[in-house]
Structure 1
Amino acid sequence: MHKNILVAILFCSLFSVFVSAQDTDVKKLSDGVIITLNDKAAALGQTITLKVLSDKIIRVTSAALGAPTLHKSLMVSDNLLSAGTPTWDMTRDAEKITLKTSSMQAVVKLTDGMISFTDAAGKPIVSEQRRDAGTFIADSHSGDSFYKIRQGFEVGETEGFYGLGQHQNGVMNYRGHQVELLQYNTDVAIPFVISTNNYGILWDNYSITKVGDVRTFRPLSGLKLYSKSGEVGWLTATYSDLKDSRNTISRAESDIDYSFLKDLKNFPDSFKLVNGKVRWEGDIESPYSGLHTFLFKYAGYIKIWVDGKLQADRWRQPWNAGAIELQVLLEDKRKYSLVIEWLPDGGESYLSFKWQSPIPQNEKNDFSFLSEAGDQVDYYLVSGKDLDEVIAGYRLLTGKASIVPKWAMGFWQSRERYKTQDEILSTVKTFRDRKIPLDNIVLDWSYWEENQWGSQEFDTERFPSAEQMISDLHDKYNTRLMISVWPKFYEGTDAYNSFAKKGWLYRRNVEDGRKDWIAKGYKSTFYDPFNPEARVGFWNLLNDKLYKKGIDAWWLDATEPDIHSNLSVETRKSIFTPSLGSGARYFNAFPLLNAKGIYEGQRKENPNDRVFILTRSAYGGLQRYATVTWSGDISSRWHDMRDQISAGVNFSMSGLPYWAMDIGGFSVERRFENAKGDDLKEWREMNTRWYQFGAFTPVFRVHGQFPFREIYNIAPEGHPAYSSMLYYNKLRYRLMPYIYSLAGQAYHQHYTIMRGLVMDFPHDDAVRNIDNQFMFGPSLLINPVSEYEARSRKVYLPKGIGWYDLYTGTYFKGGQNINAEAPYERMPLFVKEGSILTFGPELQYTSEKPADPIRLYVYTGRDASFNLYEDEGTNYNYERNAFSNIPISYNEKDKTLTIGQREGSFEGMLRNRTFEIFVVTPRAKRSLSFDSPAKQKLRYSGQKLSVKI
C-alpha cells in the first residue's frame, strides 16, 4: 500500500513537471519576463509579466489569456521608464523562475503563477495568493468592457499596514480592516500601501477598490434581530417629531440604509427629517464569536449603545455624511441590546448600518485588493531597508514631490467666506496691526456673480478692483492670495457654452435637470480633465481671468469630482463620463488630471514662480504637481479633530508629503454659531487645541464656516485662547529653518514630513496602533489634545531612546507611557534625544528677514545631526542645483558640535551668519526661550567649524 502511494506521488510530480514544460511559455525580455500559463487544472490561464524597474522595484501584471497586458499608467511617471534597466538576472528550473536584483528576488511558480518576493538573502518580503476564477470576472459599464480584479497577498502575522490615502475612521494600522478607495468629500483614495515589513504595493488601478479585508459588508438583517418587545426578525424603530410629541410612528425595521438622496423616500411619509428623531431598539445576535466590525455612515447627531455601553456620540453636518467604525467583541448565540438614537438635524440627512463578521482564522494573514474595473492585475512591489526608502521608491515611480513655495509653509488665514475685497484687505490689515504672523489669505467660492459659476470672473460690485486688491496684498501687506477655482460650470455662461461646443463637459447632470443649492438653484456640470485639450482650455480660462491679475495659488475644490452631493455611487459613475473610458474605470483619477492641467499650464506660462495647489481630493502621483491636499469639510467636533491625526499621518505615509486640514473644523453645530456661556467656552478651547495641533502639520491653515476663524474673532486679546494661538503661530515661524529644511528633504531625499511612529521606531511594537501621536520631522513628537477640558494626556515615549520636554527641557526615558501635562495654553511636545533644532528670528511673514541668527538647540545624550537646507524660496532654480546645505552634527563622546562646510549656493544666499548654541542635557535641563542669551556663538562664513559644548 505504501509503495502504491509513493508511485502515485512520483507520477503526480512528474506529470506536474510535464504540464509545466508543455503548457508554460517563457520569454525573457531586456527588462523582465513574460510567462504564459495555459488553462489547466493546476493553473488559471494567464499571461504574467514581470518588469524590473530598479533593484528594489518590480512591476507585476497578470492578464487573462487573450486580454491586453501592459498599458500606459496615469500615476507612474515617464522619467523612471527612461532611466534604463538595472542589472538583474533570471534562472529557471522545472518548477519556478527566479528574477534577481542586487536587493531582491521574485520567484514565480510555473504551476500556478504565484509570485513570492524575498530580499537578496532569501528572507521573505511578501507572497501572492494563488490567482483563480475570482481574479478576473468580466463586467462592463457604459459600453466599456473590463474585469473586476482581485489579488490577495499572504502577509506576516504581525505586519502593520499604512497609507492608502486619507480616511476618517480613526484607524492608524489597517491590518484587519477594510479600506475603501472611493473619492468622497473628506475621504481620499491613494492606492499605495506600506508595510512594517519594509515594502509597499502601488496598485495601478483607478476604479473603486477595496483593500485589506475585502469581504463584503453585510446588512443589519444578517444578524438575528429582536424587537423592543422580543419578537424575532426586526428592531423597533420609533420616529418622533421634536416639535409635536403626538406625531410618533413606530414600525418594524430589519435594515438601516438611508445612504443617498434616492433612499430618503423610504422614511415614513409623514416623517420630516428637519424636526425628526429616530430611535432603533432591540437586541442583536450573531452566529459568530469574535471581533465584529460595525460600520455606520451618518449625518446629524448619533448615539450608539451596545450591551448598555455607549460606543459612539457623534455629529456631522447633514449634507456630508461621515463614518464610524466600531469593533465590538460578540459571542455567538448571545443576545446584545442595541440602541441607536439619531437626530437628522436637517432637511437632508443620511444613516446606514452594515457589519462584518470576525475574520476567519485561515484568512487572518490575508491582505487583498479588489477593484471594480480593470484589464489586469497590475501592481508595483517596492522594497526598501526602511519605510523612508519604500516611500522613496513610490516617488521614483510616480514623481518627485515639488518643493512648495516657502510662503506656503507659513500661516494661512481663510474662512467660508470673505464676501468683498474690503473684507480681504481689512482682515490682512488687522493681522499686520496686531502683529499676528501671516503669509497667505484665501478667497473661497462665490466671488463671481450669483449666476456665473465657472466664469472665473469677479463680481465687480463686491470686488470693484481685484487687480488693485491683489497688488495691495503683495506690495502693502506682503501677503499672498490663493483663490478657489472649481471645475464646475453653470449652464448658459460663456465658459459653459464654449466648453460644451468643444465636447469638454459632462452633460448628464444638466440633462437630468439637477440644480445646486445656490439661491433658486442652477443647473451645472464639470469639465473633463481627461481630455488634454480640455485641460489646456481650463488653464487658459484661469490664466486669462485670474492668473494674469496676480493670483498666487489655486484652491481646487470638489475634485472627487463632487458634481452633485449625495448621489448614489452608481449615479455618480453615470454622470462622470471621462473621455478615456467609463466612469467606473476612472472613478478615482479626476483630481490627478485636474491638477496636472493647472500645474503644466502655469509652468508653461511662467517658468519661474512655483505653482502651488490646494486640492480636496488626490490620487497616486499628485505630489509631482505641487499640491497639498486638505481633509475636506470635516465637522467642528472634538472627535473629528482626533480623527484628523490618523487621517493626516496615513495620507503622508501614502507618499504625498503635503497635507492640511480645516483648523477648527469646517461645519459648525448651531450651538456654536452665536455661542454664549458654556458653548462659547468650549468653542474657544476646541479651536485652541486644534490650532496647537495644526501648527505641526505640513501646511498651517485655518478655515471654516461661521463663526469667523481669525484669532481675534475666536477670543479677545489677553484670553488664554488668543495667547496660545499666537504663541504657536510665532513658534511655527521660529521653526521655519527646520520646517523648510524638511520641505527640501521631501524633494531631494524623498522625505516624509508628518510621520507615523512606525517610520522612526520600527522595532517598537507598541507604536504600531498609536493613532493620536506622530513625528514632525526627525526630532519632534507631537501629541495633540483632543478632549474637552483635558489638562493632561497619556503620551507614549518610544523605546530605545530618551526624550526631552520641549518647553522645560526635562528628560524622560523612552519605552514608557507618561501622563503629560497639557495646560490650556500648551500641547505636550517632546524632542528626541540626539536632536538639533534650528530656530530663526521672530517673523511676521516668511520673507521678512533672513534666518539669522539661528539658535541651535542641541539635545544631547546621543550623536545628532541636521541638514539646514535653503534655496530661493519661490522659483524652480532648486531643480537646477541652486540651493545650499549646511550639515550640522554633534558628537556625544567628544561633546563637539560641528557646522560643516556649506555645500552649494544660490542667488541671495546669506554668506555670513551667526549660530547661537544652546545645550540641553539630561542633567542640565534648559527651557525653550527666545530671550535668553547664548553662552556660545559661532560666526560662520561657509567653512567647517567645530566647538566643544
Structure 2
Amino acid sequence: MRNLTYALSGLMLVAMMHQGFGQVNKAHYEKTSTGIKVSFKNSETSIDQDVYLDVVTDKIVRVTAVPAGAAFPKQSSLVIVDSLRRQVKSLTVGSTDSTVNVKTANVQAIVSLKNGKVEFFDLNGLPIVREAKRNSSSFTADSYNGDSFYRINQDFVVNPEEGIYGLGQHQNAVMNYNRGKQVTLLQYNTEIGIPFLVSTNNYGLLWHNYSITQAGDVRPLLPLNAFKLSSKEGQQGWLTASYVNRNNPAEVYLSRPESIIDYGYLTDQHKFPKDVKLADTKVIYEGNIASPYAGKHVLHFKYSGYMKVWIDGELLADRWRQSWNAGTFEIEKEMGKDQPHKIRMEWIPDGGESYFTLNWQSPIPEARKNLFSFNSEAGDAIDYYFVKGSSMDEVIAGYRHLSGKAPIMPIWSFGFWQSRERYKTQEEIEQVAAEFRKRKIPIDNIVQDWSYWKENDWGSQKFDLDRFPDPKAMVKKLHDQHLKIMISAWPKINEESSVYSEFKANKWIYPRNIYDGRKDWIGKGYTSTFYDPFNQGARDGFWKLLDNNLFKIGIDAWWMDASEPDIHSNIDLDERKSVFQPSIGSSVRYYNAFPLQNAKGIYEGQRATDPNKRVFILTRSFFAGQQRYAAAAWSGDIASRWHDMKDQIAGGINFSMSGTPYWTMDAGGFLVENRFHKPNATDLEEWREMNSRWYQYGSFLPLFRAHGQFPYREPYQIAPAGHPAYNSMIYAINLRYKLLAYNYSLAAKTFFEDYSMIRALAMDFPQDKDGFDINDQYLWGPSLLVNPVTEKGATSRKIHFPKGADWYDLYSGHKVAGGQNLPISTSYERIPVYVKAGAILPIGPVMQYTTEKKQDVLDLYVYDGADGQFSLYEDEGNNYNYEKGKYSQIDFNYDHTTKTLSLANRKGEFEGMLSQRKFNVVFVNDKNTVGVDSEKKKTTVISYSGKALQVKLK
C-alpha cells in the first residue's frame, strides 16, 4: 500500500510539472512596446514580484517593481515632464537560461530570471551599478488616512571607490555620500530633499517617490543608551547630567542620570526637570561611552542654543542655533570594541523651548559596505530612473530630459541683491535704495521681506497702507533707479485675513491647523494654515492674489518662504502630516512635493499673465523637477557663524549636482547671536570679518544676496567706508559685475546644454580621487576654482589643486601646478580664486546695474598651458525670446600648441545686439604674470564685427 502511495505521488508530481507548477525558479517574461515585464510567482529564489523595464532614451531606463499581480502605477507624475520625449535609436531584447537582456545604443540592462535583480552595464560589458536582491523588506504594506501603500526599500550595490553626490541640500558638511552616510530626504527649514544622485561612474538614479526617504546607509539610528554608558562617578548605565546656573557654574540646580537624550520637539519639553528654568541653565553631560563594535561611528546631533562636544579631551564641535530653528551636525569617531571614551557635552539652551537629541550609527557591517539604499515611507512601487552618460554633466542632462530644463534667469538676477529681515516701511526701503545709488555701490535687486501686510492679514498679499502708503509709486521709484524688487509671498493664510473665507469655502486650504487652534508668533498670535497647491483651483486663486495685489503694480520676482510647508518648525512629523493633507492623496505619500506644486502655480500663472516677462522664484524648499519653473533655492535660516558658512559649501555643491542649478544662501547668515547685537570691539571686528568672508564667497554663486536678522546687512551698516571689511564687500560686489559676461554665459550653457554652474571637483576631474571628499572648495563654471575662507582670523588656507591642470591666481596671475595640496595665503579682502590653464575668461567693466551699459569692450584673459574654449552668450535679458532662437553666441578657441586664439563667426542675432565690439586680449603665461588686480597689462586689441578671425598671442 505504501509503495502504491509513493507511485501515485510521483505521477501527480510529474503531472504538476507538465502543468508548469514545478518550474519554481524560472521567471516568465514578455516584451512590451518599450521594454520588458518579468514576473515571479511562487519562486524559491525570488519574492513574488513583477519587474518592468521601460526604455525612455538610449541612456535612460525606468525600472519599476511591484508585488506580483499589483497594478503598474498609473497616476501622472509630478516630477516627470508631460512632454517626455522618447529618443531610442535601437532597442533589442534577448535572453539566456538565466537572464533577459535589454540593450540600447548606449547601455545594457540585464534582469536575472532567478531573483529579479536588475544590473546595468556599458556596451563593453563593464558593470555600472546593480540592484541587490529584493526581499521581504522591499514591500511592507502600510496605510495612512485611508490611503494604502507600501513602505519600500531598494538596495544598490555600488563601487566603494566611486563618488556619489546630489540628494539635495543638507547641513552635515558631507560632500561624498558613498562613505557610509545616512541622509534624510525631507523638506525642512535649512534642509532640502531631492531624490536624485549622480556618480563619478557617470550614472544617475532618480528615485521616483515623493515621500520622506532615507538614503545611503538606511539602518535605523541607535539611541544613546545603545552605547555602554558610565557616569562621571563611574556608575554603569547613564551619563551624569548636571543642570547648573549658567552664570555661576558652581551652583548646581540638579544632577540626574540620563541615558537617552531625546528632546527633539515641542511634545518632548515635559521630559526636562520640572523645577529647572532652562533659560538660566547650562547642562553638562559627563561620563564615558563604549561601543560593542569596532570601526567608524557617526554621532548625529540635533540642537538649539550653544553646544560644545569633547571626546577624549578633544573639542570636536562648537555650535550655536536659535531655539525656534534647531540645527544638526555629525561627529565621526573611530572606536575600538568595548573601549571607553570620555565624553563631555556642554549645552546652553536658547530660551524656554529647547531642543537636543543624540543618536548614532554603528560601523557598517561587512555585508552592507558596498550598498547604497533608498527607503521611502510610501509608494505603490519601487520606481526609479537609471541615467547613463559619458560625464556627470551628461547624466544631469538626462535628469533634466526627464524633469525639465532650467530656464535662463533674467540678467538682473546676476547682479547684487540687498535684503534685510526686514524693511518695515516704504520709507526704509526707499532710503536704502537711495543710499546704494548715492554711494555708487552696484545693485540690481532689493528685497521686501515678510509682514508688509497688516498684522492680522497674513495671506492677503496686500501692503499695509499705514506703513506703505503708495506701493505702486514705491515700485516705480525703484524701477526709475534701475532696481528690481522681489517680495515675500508666503503660502500661509491667517484665519482673520481678508481672503480666508474665500479659500475655505473653495476647500483650497488645509483646515486641521485651524481646528487645532495652533497660533503663530505674530502680535497676539493668530491661527493660520497653508493653501493647497496640489489643487489647480487653489493654485489659480493664489496666483490671482499675487497678480492683483503685487504683479500688477510691477513686482518683479517672488520669494516663496516657508515652502516646505513650515506649519510649525518644532512640531513632530506625525503632527505635521496630520496638518498637511493634499487634495490628491495622503500627506505621507506627497510629503516632499509641496514646494514643487507651489512653484508650478506661480510660474504658470505669471507666464499666462505676461508671457514675455521672465519669471523668477526664490524658494526655501525644492523638489525634483522644480528647476523647470524658474525656481532657485536658498539654504534657509542658517546661523551667522563660521561653521554655518562652511556647511553651506557642500550643501550648495550637492544641491547643484542634484540637477537643480540655481542656489544661494543668506550672505552673512540669518540667525544672529546676542553678542553681535550690541557688540564690544572684539565682537564687532569678528562680525565685520565674517561678513566680508561671506560676501567674498557669495559673489561666486548663481545668486549673490545679502540677508539676515539685525544687525542690518547693507555693507555700509556693517562697516564704515575705508574699513577693510567695507573695502572687501565693495570689491566682491564690483567683481561680481565684472564677471557678468562670464556668469550670464554660464546661465545660457545651463539652459542649452543642461550645465551646472556650481561644480564639485569630481565633475571636471573624475580621475583625481583626492578631490572626491573635499567639502570646502568648488569650481565656478569651467574656469574658476573657488576656495572660501571660513575660519576667523585666517591668513592662509589649504587648497587642493586638482591634477590634470595648472592653475593661475585670479588676482595676480601667479601659476601653481596641479596635483598638489598647498597652504595658500589669503588677505582680509580676498579669498583665493584660481583660473584653470586653458581658460578664456571675459572680464567686463564695473557697472551700477547689469543693464547700465552694453559691454562693447571686454577684457579677454587667455590662460596658457592647455587648449581652451568659451562661448560668449547674449540675449535681450528679460524675456523669453531666447526660446524662439533670438540670441547670439561667439565661440572662442585657444590652441595651446600654436598660441592661437580663434573667434568664430557670430551665431544668431537679437534686437539691440552689438554689431561691433572690441576685445582686449590679456595673454597670461609664465612670462606675463598678470591678474585682474594687476595695474599694468599687456593687451592685444581685437575689433570684432561678427566675422571669424585668428590672433597669434605672445
What is the TM-score normalised by the length of structure 1?
0.97
Q: Secondary structure at the match of 1:121?
A: coil
**From 438, 454, 461, the counterpart of 1:456:** 461
Deviation (angstroms), 1:82:
4.3
Deviation (angstroms), 1:26:
2.0
**From 445, 448, 453, the counterpart of 1:440:** 445
Partner of 2:586: 582
Matched, 1:123 2:122: no
Instruction: Check 1:84–1:831 CA distance in 2 against 1; reply closer, same or farther (3 A cut).
Output: closer
Cα distance in 2 between the residues matched to 1:22 and 1:777: 52
Partner of 1:698: 702
Cα distance in 1 between the residues matched to 2:894 and 2:498: 63
Deviation (angstroms), 1:47:
1.1
Matched, 1:857 2:856: no
Tell me if structure 1 keeps the 8 A contact 2:25–2:114: no
Tell me if structure 1 keeps the 8 A contact 2:88–2:104: no
Tell me if structure 1 keeps the 8 A contact 2:423–2:448: yes
Tell me if structure 2 keeps the 8 A contact 1:558–1:616: yes
Partner of 1:348: 353
Deviation (angstroms), 1:676:
2.5
Cα distance in 2 between the residues matched to 1:867 and 1:61: 40
Cα distance in 2 between the residues matched to 1:100 and 1:279: 61
Q: Percent identity?
A: 54
Tell me if structure 1 keeps the 8 A contact 2:811–2:934: no
Partner of 2:577: 573
**From 264, 279, 283, the counterpart of 1:278:** 283
Instruction: Check 1:20–1:907 CA distance in 2 against 1; reply closer, same or farther (3 A cut).
Output: farther
Instruction: Check 1:284–1:865 CA distance in 2 against 1; reply closer, same or farther (3 A cut).
Output: same
Tell me if structure 1 keeps the 8 A contact 2:456–2:496: no
Cα distance in 2 between the residues matched to 1:18 and 1:200: 39
Partner of 1:614: 618
Q: Secondary structure at the match of 1:584?
A: helix
Instruction: Check 1:888–1:18 CA distance in 2 against 1; reply closer, same or farther (3 A cut).
Output: farther
Matched, 1:830 2:834: yes
**What are the Cα deviations for residues 114-141 of structure 1, in whole angstroms up to 9, with x where unaligned?**
0110011111000100001110001111
**From 89, 97, 122, the counterpart of 1:94:** 97
Instruction: Check 1:80–1:44 CA distance in 2 against 1; reply closer, same or farther (3 A cut).
Output: farther
Tell me if structure 1 keeps the 8 A contact 2:422–2:709: yes
Cα distance in 1 between the residues matched to 2:628 and 2:218: 30
Cα distance in 1 between the residues matched to 2:75 and 2:385: 14
User: Aligned letter for 1:327?
Assistant: E
Deviation (angstroms), 1:372:
0.6
**What are the Cα deviations for residues 318-337 of structure 1, in whole angstroms up to 9, with x where unaligned?**
11111111110111111111
Cα distance in 2 between the residues matched to 1:436 and 1:189: 36
**What are the Cα deviations for residues 452-476 of structure 1, in whole angstroms up to 9, with x where unaligned?**
100111000110000000001112x
Deviation (angstroms), 1:346:
1.5
Matched, 1:708 2:712: yes
Matched, 1:288 2:293: yes
Tell me if structure 2 keeps the 8 A contact 1:861–1:922: no
Tell me if structure 2 keeps the 8 A contact 1:418–1:424: yes
Cα distance in 1 between the residues matched to 2:802 and 2:767: 10
Cα distance in 2 between the residues matched to 1:601 and 1:327: 47
Deviation (angstroms), 1:922:
2.4
Cα distance in 2 between the residues matched to 1:455 and 1:479: 25
Partner of 1:50: 53
**What are the Cα deviations for residues 721-744 of structure 1, in whole angstroms up to 9, with x where unaligned?**
000110110011011000000000
Q: Secondary structure at the match of 1:588?
A: helix
User: Aligned letter for 1:77?
Assistant: I
Partner of 2:634: 630
Cα distance in 1 between the residues matched to 2:830 and 2:764: 25
Partner of 1:600: 604
**From 377, 381, 396, the counterpart of 1:376:** 381
**From 192, 200, 207, the counterpart of 2:211:** 207
Instruction: Check 1:656–1:884 CA distance in 2 against 1; reply closer, same or farther (3 A cut).
Output: same
Q: Secondary structure at the match of 2:650?
A: helix
Cα distance in 2 between the residues matched to 1:551 and 1:598: 13
Q: Secondary structure at the match of 1:939?
A: strand
User: Aligned letter for 1:905?
Assistant: E
**From 248, 268, 277, the counterpart of 2:253:** 248
User: Aligned letter for 2:73?
Assistant: L
Instruction: Check 1:85–1:533 CA distance in 2 against 1; reply closer, same or farther (3 A cut).
Output: farther
Tell me if structure 1 keeps the 8 A contact 2:246–2:348: no
**From 338, 342, 351, the counterpart of 1:337:** 342
Partner of 1:319: 324
Tell me if structure 1 keeps the 8 A contact 2:795–2:828: yes
**What are the Cα deviations for residues 776-795 of structure 1, in whole angstroms up to 9, with x where unaligned?**
00000000000000011001
Pairwise mapping of residues 901-916 of structure 1 onto structure 2 (< 5 A)? 901-916=905-920
Pairwise mapping of residues 815-826 of structure 1 onto structure 2 (< 5 A)? 815-826=819-830
Cα distance in 1 between the residues matched to 2:630 and 2:851: 20
Partner of 1:186: 190
Pairwise mapping of residues 169-180 of structure 1 onto structure 2 (< 5 A)? 169-175=172-178, 176-180=180-184
**What are the Cα deviations for residues 72-100 of structure 1, in whole angstroms up to 9, with x where unaligned?**
45344335534455421110122111000
Instruction: Check 1:507–1:390 CA distance in 2 against 1; reply closer, same or farther (3 A cut).
Output: same
Cα distance in 2 between the residues matched to 1:806 and 1:75: 43
Matched, 1:720 2:720: no
Deviation (angstroms), 1:494:
2.4
Tell me if structure 2 keeps the 8 A contact 1:80–1:396: no
Bigger shift: residues 337-346 or 54-63:
337-346
Deviation (angstroms), 1:242:
2.9
Partner of 1:41: 44
Structure 2 residue runs without a partner (length 5+): 1-13
Partner of 1:386: 391
Tell me if structure 1 keeps the 8 A contact 2:58–2:87: no
User: Aligned letter for 2:587?
Assistant: G
Tell me if structure 2 keeps the 8 A contact 1:642–1:772: yes
**What are the Cα deviations for residues 265-311 of structure 1, in whole angstroms up to 9, with x where unaligned?**
11000122222211111111110010001000011100011111111
Deviation (angstroms), 1:934:
5.2
Deviation (angstroms), 1:610:
0.3
Partner of 2:506: 502
Partner of 1:687: 691
**From 796, 805, 809, the counterpart of 1:801:** 805
Partner of 1:4: none
Tell me if structure 2 keeps the 8 A contact 1:80–1:397: no
Deviation (angstroms), 1:923:
3.4
Q: Secondary structure at the match of 2:384?
A: strand
Tell me if structure 2 keeps the 8 A contact 1:164–1:192: yes
**What are the Cα deviations for residues 857-895 of structure 1, in whole angstroms up to 9, with x where unaligned?**
000111111000111110001111111110011111111
**From 132, 145, 162, the counterpart of 1:159:** 162
Matched, 1:216 2:220: yes
Q: Secondary structure at the match of 2:589?
A: coil
Deviation (angstroms), 1:914:
0.6
Cα distance in 1 between the residues matched to 2:672 and 2:213: 32
Pairwise mapping of residues 412-427 of structure 1 onto structure 2 (< 5 A)? 412-427=417-432
Deviation (angstroms), 1:821:
1.2
Tell me if structure 2 keeps the 8 A contact 1:318–1:345: yes
Cα distance in 1 between the residues matched to 2:282 and 2:900: 68
Partner of 2:9: none
- The alignment yields a C-alpha RMSD, in angstroms, of 1.5
Matched, 1:59 2:62: yes
Deviation (angstroms), 1:23:
5.5
User: Aligned letter for 1:832?
Assistant: K
Partner of 1:659: 663
Instruction: Check 1:491–1:86 CA distance in 2 against 1; reply closer, same or farther (3 A cut).
Output: farther
**From 359, 368, 373, the counterpart of 1:363:** 368
Cα distance in 1 between the residues matched to 2:477 and 2:278: 47
Tell me if structure 2 keeps the 8 A contact 1:916–1:934: no
Partner of 1:3: none
Cα distance in 1 between the residues matched to 2:855 and 2:434: 25
Deviation (angstroms), 1:929:
4.1
Matched, 1:395 2:369: no
Matched, 1:70 2:76: no
